[in-house]
Amino acid sequence: MADAGMLRFHVPEPEVRPGGTPDFSDVTIPKAGSAPRPEIDVDPRTIRDMAFSIIRVLNRAGEAVGPWAGLLSDDELLEGLRHMMTLRSFDARMQMAQRQGKTSFYMQHLGEEAVSCAFRKALAPGDMNFPTYRQAGLLIADGYPMVTMMNQIYSNEADPLKGRQLPIMYSSKEHGFFSISGNLATQYIQAVGWAMASAISNDSKIAAAWIGDGSTAESDFHSALVFASTYKAPVVLNVVNNQWAISTFQGIARGGSGTFAARGLGFGIPSLRVDGNDYLAVHAVAKWAAERARKNLGPTLVEYVTYRVGAHSSSDDPSAYRPKAESDAWPLGDPIVRLKNHLIQRGVWSDERHIQAEAEILETVIAAQREAERHGTLHAGGKPSARDMFEGVYAEMPPHLRRQRQQAGV
């Protein structure tokens, strides 16, 4: 070779930058229904190719096809559609509330609603999620009150977290939703620990770990896979690949591994990729993985292939690093539109009913917002007391904190 001896440094680049034409031609989309559905006790070595494909159920005609279809009834699907629409509407209102100065920060789910909404329906009561900041669908789909979520976002007097935590970092043990840290990847190994504890206690509950494509680069992701593999922990290891980690495209965290699901293969963990914008596929794969966990078959790694249509957070502007029309070009479409079309195809939904439902949901969200705002917003109305700041650091307040609270005069 001509340049043998001279090393060259490699930095991956996305296909397109702002100003360019969006191009997803390198994203191979298999036909819906083409992926096999293995038995849950399958030998992981025989399904390694599933870490490189994509399980899809809904085809372009809106039909549910293949071995992963047929798990959900009309009513369950209609409920799923309502959850996703509610989350989208909730996001739009809260994003606006942030712009109006009613809170400091917000993170929306636009384009990713199917992942958390469908996953929640695959779990049983008592199971525990260890979410990131983009899985509020777990709460919406479990019936957690929107008003309570908004109270937290507003850090108002009714905030269940007493104003101590950044907006959207919810916590609800009752709804199987572990306290969101705001640090990345730390929760992944904690989920494995929770699952280990359930097994140690001969319980029947399972855990679900959540992480984004970018944070799989953290060492906690690696240690979680080691522990899950070693102790066969009853946990579903979810990776939401929404293509973007703030401004960094997924290739920076993925490196040469091909897919994020492939990370699980070296640990002997069955690893599947699924169409994250396909409510039916997400639910079916989640159900498969949850059943494996509950039957002592150990962890499953699931990569949800999706796209972050919105900005990373209210503090981010994606036009600086990716083409504006990129989300329109995303080949897996919009999860709400796809489920809507499927329900129309099933004969249980229509465009008119959809428009009507949108209006009803918006009304519900606005009503919740009004109620939350009666308890205050970040800079107006009722708020947690300064005294609350000193509480809860320990079960019992130690003398030095008591002195500081007196010093603060609260």
Largest CA distance in the chain: 75
Rg (CA), the chain: 22
Among 51, 207, 240, 365, binds another protein (CB under 8 A): 207
Q: Per rule CB under 8 A, is residue 201 in the interface with another protein? A: yes
The residue count for binding another protein (CB under 8 A) is: 44
Report DSSP state, residue 58.
B
Name the residue nearer to another protein (CB basis): 218 or 326. Answer: 218
Structure tokens at 121: 């329906």
DSSP codes of every residue in 275-340: ETT-HHHHHHHHHHHHHHHHTT---EEEEEE----S-SSTT--GGGTS-TTHHHH-TT--HHHHHH
End-to-end CA distance of the chain: 74
3-state secondary structure of 380: strand
Binding of another protein by 217 (CB under 8 A): no
CA dihedral defined by 351, 355, 360, 366, rounded to 10 degrees? 150
Site string for another protein, 231-270 (x = CB under 8 A): ----------------------------------------
DSSP H stretches of helix in 30-127: 74-99, 113-120
Q: Which stretch in 265-273, 281-289, 333-341, 395-403 sits in contact with another protein by CB under 8 A?
A: 395-403
List the one residue from 189, 208, 269, 282 that touches another protein (CB under 8 A). Answer: 189
d(C-alpha 294, C-alpha 281), whole Å = 20
Amino acid at site 157:
E
129-188: which residues touch another protein (CB under 8 A)?
A: 130, 160-162, 164-165, 169, 171-173, 178-179, 181, 183, 186, 188
Residue 306 sits in the site that holds another protein (CB under 8 A)? no
Residue with tokens 């809260």: 94
Shortest Å, Cβ 404 to another protein: 10
- Cβ of residue 397: shortest distance to another protein, in angstroms? 9
Site string for another protein, 340-379 (x = CB under 8 A): ----------------------------------------
**DSSP code string of 211-230:** EETGGGGSHHHHHHHHHHHH
Could you say whether residue 206 binds another protein (CB under 8 A)?
A: no
Please identify which residue in 223, 248, 257, 313 interacts with another protein, judged by CB under 8 A: 223
Residues at the interface with another protein (CB under 8 A):
128, 130, 160-162, 164-165, 169, 171-173, 178-179, 181, 183, 186, 188-198, 200-201, 207, 219-220, 223-224, 226-227, 230, 392-395, 398-400
